[in-house]
Amino acid sequence: MRKLLALLRLVAAVFALAAAAYVCLVVFGVFSALDSATSGYSIYR
């Protein structure tokens, strides 16, 4: 039972990390799109 609980906690931590990374990627995409739209050139150049 304790091993299952530890496994669940590990899965939850990995899921939270993945969700945070996904949110960061989405926010970065929105900001870069806004930046390229407002300043006229891309952030990647």
Question: Which residues have C-beta within 8 Å of that of residue 42, sequence separation ≥ 6?
Answer: 32, 35, 36
Tokens 């939270």 correspond to: 16
Q: pLDDT at position 45, please?
A: 55
Q: Which two tokens stand for residue 25?
A: 């990627």
- What confidence tens digit (pLDDT) does each residue in 3-44 have? 999 999 999 999 999 999 999 999 999 988 887 777 655 555
Global pTM value? 0.60
Q: Which two tokens stand for residue 3?
A: 């091993």
Q: pLDDT at position 35, please?
A: 77
